[in-house]
Chains A and B, each alone.
Chain A
């Protein structure tokens, strides 16, 4: 019984082999040395696809991403270093193309915005906590009140 159901799955697995996904991004690149291959992997993850905005160029099937991978490979082979390859892409596609944009007046918000928000958040939490404590203190009976209440309780006994 078990074996039969396994057998039924096999055609499905064969179909999966030919799915669009299995043909995705399979261009093959050769490198002179391991270091360049590592650089290639790093660069294609660091560069952003202009067409499909939430993918890096390693991840994207867009033709423009394939072109960019090809160029990264070519430039690495020419002996260019990582910085100059990123600069080469920025020259053509703008600051958008890197996930680590330069710190310019346009990108200050990007770099420091989250820290500002965290700072504001901490202040809000602290002041709310202080407010809460004040409220608790206000409602807390004073020692005299406690005493008189205890006295009343004792009397009733």
Chain B
């Protein structure tokens, strides 16, 4: 009977380790999931005089995309965001810890997929949302609740497999 002990331990260990395969430890839970977007009051990137608050995110299902010009992965996903915007998906930008002129010239150069951009140079709204690395993309429902967050680049695979089904479901 005792001779089976090592085998049982090895199998147990294999089972435990197997459950962890494919999990990305850098992906954290979304603390704000199913909570309303935190209150904020920040200026629009393109129009310093215009103030944006959480109320401006309500009314339709939107993607809230956290980006910055210092973030290489944001550059990588930008083209895809432009494609999505052309398909009619409303994307609001959260320009995170960036500089206004640099960010504006980036949009002029690479195209502007955003309905509007929240300018958050200190990362205040980012902090309240729990942003820990750009790019991050949130799905916000019509009532302004966070329904999903994707950390990392949005590409065709992520959109078709994860974001779009949720987007369509929420839009109903």
Contact of A51 among B29, B97, B132 (CB under 8 A): B132
Known: A63-B97, A127-B5. A95 touches B29 (CB 8 A): yes
- Contact present for A64 and B133 (CB under 8 Å): yes
A94 within 8 A of B: yes
B123 within 8 A of A: yes
A81 within 8 A of B: no
CA distance A122 to B157 in the complex (A): 48
Known: A51-B133, A131-B2. A67 touches B123 (CB 8 A): yes
- CB 8 Å contact bits of B117-138 with A (1 = contact, 0 = none): 0000001000111111100000
A93 within 8 A of B: yes
Within 8 A of A (CB), among B88-146: 97, 123, 127-133
CA distance A131 to B28 in the complex (A): 46
Closest 5 CB pairs of A and B: A50-B132, A94-B31, A92-B130, A94-B29, A93-B130
CA distance A92 to B123 in the complex (A): 13
Using a Cβ–Cβ cut-off of 8 Å, how many residues does chain B contribute to the interface with A?
Answer: 19
- Contact present for A94 and B2 (CB under 8 Å): no
Closest Cβ of chain B to A56, distance in Å, is 15
CA distance A127 to B6 in the complex (A): 12
Which secondary structure dominates where chain A touches chain B?
A: helix
Using a Cβ–Cβ cut-off of 8 Å, how many residues does chain A contribute to the interface with B?
Answer: 18
B32 within 8 A of A: yes
- Contact present for B133 and A127 (CB under 8 Å): no
- Contact present for A93 and B132 (CB under 8 Å): yes
Residues of chain A having any CB pair with chain B under 8 Å: 50-51, 53, 63-64, 67, 71, 90-96, 124, 127-128, 131
Known: A64-B132, A71-B127. A93 touches B31 (CB 8 A): yes
Residues of chain B having any CB pair with chain A under 8 Å: 2, 5, 9, 25-26, 28-32, 97, 123, 127-133
Known: A67-B123, A92-B127, A92-B129. A124 touches B29 (CB 8 A): no
CB-defined contacts of B131 to chain A, threshold 8 Å: 64
CA distance A131 to B2 in the complex (A): 8
Known: A50-B132, A51-B133, A128-B2. A93 touches B97 (CB 8 A): no
CA distance A10 to B93 in the complex (A): 51
CA distance A93 to B128 in the complex (A): 9
CA distance A92 to B128 in the complex (A): 6
A71, A93, A124, A127 — which one has the most chain B CB atoms within 10 A of its CB?
A93
CB-defined contacts of A94 to chain B, threshold 8 Å: 28-31, 130
